[in-house]
């Protein structure tokens, strides 16, 4: 029997939500790591019972947790994330003064599609780490922070966080707020900025190589050269592996938001959750909506069935949207109000799985046979 497992990281712990393939009745396990901020949880495509979680508090710092039984039990793994490449130098702060690189937390975990023991971690400040032993030890891929543009990177409002990791065999993409998107063609040894076509308010140079506040980037496995981006203003698309970008915001009510998702079977069907502005982090007119494009952008349709019609002032964070691989593709997202919503029909209709969790930081989904 098909089972669906949704992994929700929240401000006060992790939750595992399970259902069958109908996705209409759910059981809830948690909170795991109660009281800890769980920035991200994700399962290994190579071994679905191998889960990784990043937990953090201001009191106790950073921990990576691993489960080998689908989230029933957890064990802390290695948590040594120091800089491993000598003196990494400095980067710029908001006021233009140089600051040394620091380690603060892990924002994103990306398991290898082929090996359950290999997992990548995106950190703050702007570091990329790799473990080949199931998280017991970590090595920084130091080529990123010594990339020539790195001294000019500045933090976004949430920090200088590496929040997106896309693995395509020897090619990799990462995105950093607020530096931009970067590409490696040699498994992370060397990197180059891939931000041509991005334009950002506050950057006077229209051809700026870095400095763009990228919120999230996604790609579909069947079209690896096509990338979709939700940026700090603007929804963008690249069809040449990030070498150039075109705006595809089209008829969206606002092109500001954080997550972007791609349909599992239709690589030109994408989803965003617009919010009012960079100062008003809630839906326009207090009406929570997902917007879908079936043409890879520009033409968008409002998806509202089952979502709040009024008085809704939540946000949806960058890692809080996921898409499953069932034939009738399921779409999921979590809110800062503690709701996790599911659409079992590619966005046509929505229902809450849970309503009263702590603020949701991340949502991932697994389909289990």
The model's pLDDT over 75-98, given as tens digits with 9 standing for 90+, comes to 999 998 877 666 778 998 888 899
**CA–CA distance, 90 with 54 (Å, rounded to integer):** 26
Cβ-count burial of 45 within 10 angstroms (0-12 exposed, 13-18 middle, 19+ buried)?
middle
Determine how many CB atoms are found less than 10 A away from the CB of residue 125: 23
**C-alpha separations of 100 from 83, 103, 126, 179, 251 in Å:** 11, 10, 12, 16, 42
Tell me which DSSP letter residue 3 carries. Answer: E
The band of 201, judged by pLDDT with boundaries at 50, 70 and 90, is confident
Burial of 174 (0-12, 13-18, 19+ CB in 10 A): buried
C-alpha to C-alpha distances, 266 to 71, 113, 215, 217, nearest whole angstrom? 30, 20, 23, 17
DSSP category for residue 73: S
How many other CB atoms are there within 10 angstroms of residue 56's CB atom?
20
CB atoms within 10 A of CB 73: 10
CA distance 338 to 335: 5
What tens digit of pLDDT does each residue of 266-291 get?
A: 999 999 999 999 999 999 999 999 99
Closest CA to 99 of 81, 122, 125: 125
Q: What is the pTM of this model?
A: 0.97
Find out whether 171 and 183 touch, Cβ atoms under 8 Å. Answer: yes
Rounded-to-integer distance, Cα 93 and Cα 29, Å: 41
Q: Which superfamily, per CATH, for 3-368?
A: YVTN repeat-like/Quinoprotein amine dehydrogenase (2.130.10.10)
The C-alpha atoms of residue 41 and residue 273 are separated, in whole angstroms, by 21
Q: Which of the pair, 117 or 204, is modelled with greater confidence?
A: 117
Q: Give Cα 340 to chain centroid, integer Å.
A: 16
Q: Whole-angstrom Cα distance, residue 88 to residue 233?
A: 31
- pLDDT of 251 over the 90 cut: yes
Mind listing the pLDDT tens digit for each residue in 43-66?
Answer: 999 999 999 999 999 888 999 999
pLDDT at 83: 72
Token pair for residue 235? 């929804």
Q: What is the pLDDT of residues 120-158, one digit of tens each?
A: 999 999 999 999 999 999 999 999 999 999 999 999 888
In angstroms, the first-to-last Cα distance of the chain is: 6
The whole-number pLDDT of residue 213 equals: 95
pLDDT at 84: 67
Average pLDDT of the residues of the chain: 95
Q: What is the DSSP secondary structure assignment for residue 286, as one 8-state letter? A: G
pLDDT digits (tens, 9 = 90+) for 317-347: 999 999 999 999 999 999 999 999 999 999 9
Task: Average the pLDDT over 303-329 and give the result.
Answer: 97
pLDDT of residue 75: 96
């Amino acid at each position: 029997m098909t089972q669906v497992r949704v992994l929700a990281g929240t401000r006060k712990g992790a939750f595992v939500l399970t259902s069958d393939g109908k996705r209409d009745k759910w059981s809830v396990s948690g909170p795991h790591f109660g009281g800890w901020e769980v920035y991200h949880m994700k399962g290994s495509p190579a071994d679905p019972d191998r889960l990784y979680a990043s937990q953090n508090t201001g009191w106790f710092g950073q921990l990576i947790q691993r489960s080998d039984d689908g989230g029933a039990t957890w064990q802390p793994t290695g948590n040594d994330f120091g800089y491993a490449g000598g003196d990494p130098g400095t980067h710029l702060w908001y006021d233009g003064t140089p600051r040394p690189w620091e380690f603060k937390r892990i924002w994103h975990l990306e398991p290898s599609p082929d090996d359950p023991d290999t997992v990548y971690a995106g950190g703050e400040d702007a570091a990329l780490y790799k473990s080949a032993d199931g998280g017991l030890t970590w090595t920084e891929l130091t080529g990123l922070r010594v990339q020539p543009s790195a001294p000019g990177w500045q933090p976004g409002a949430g920090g200088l966080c590496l929040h997106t990791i896309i693995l395509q065999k020897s090619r990799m993409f990462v995105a950093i707020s607020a530096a931009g998107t970067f590409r490696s063609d040699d498994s992370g040894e060397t990197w180059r900025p891939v931000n041509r076509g991005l334009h950002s308010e506050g950057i006077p140079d229209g051809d700026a190589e870095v400095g763009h506040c990228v919120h999230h980037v996604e790609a579909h496995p069947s079209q690896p050269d096509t990338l979709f981006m939700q940026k700090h203003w603007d929804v963008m698309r690249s069809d040449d592996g990030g070498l150039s970008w075109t705006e595809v915001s089209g008829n969206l009510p606002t092109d500001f938001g954080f997550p972007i998702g791609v349909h599992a079977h239709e690589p030109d069907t994408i989803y965003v959750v617009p919010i009012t502005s960079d100062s008003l982090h809630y839906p326009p007119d207090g009406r929570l909506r997902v917007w879908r494009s079936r043409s890879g952008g520009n033409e968008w349709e409002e998806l509202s069935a089952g979502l709040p019609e009024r008085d809704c002032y939540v946000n949806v964070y960058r890692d809080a949207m996921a898409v499953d691989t069932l034939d009738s593709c399921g779409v999921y997202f979590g809110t800062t109000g503690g709701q996790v919503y599911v659409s079992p029909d590619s966005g046509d209709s929505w229902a809450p799985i849970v309503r009263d969790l702590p603020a949701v930081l991340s949502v991932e989904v697994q389909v289990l046979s």
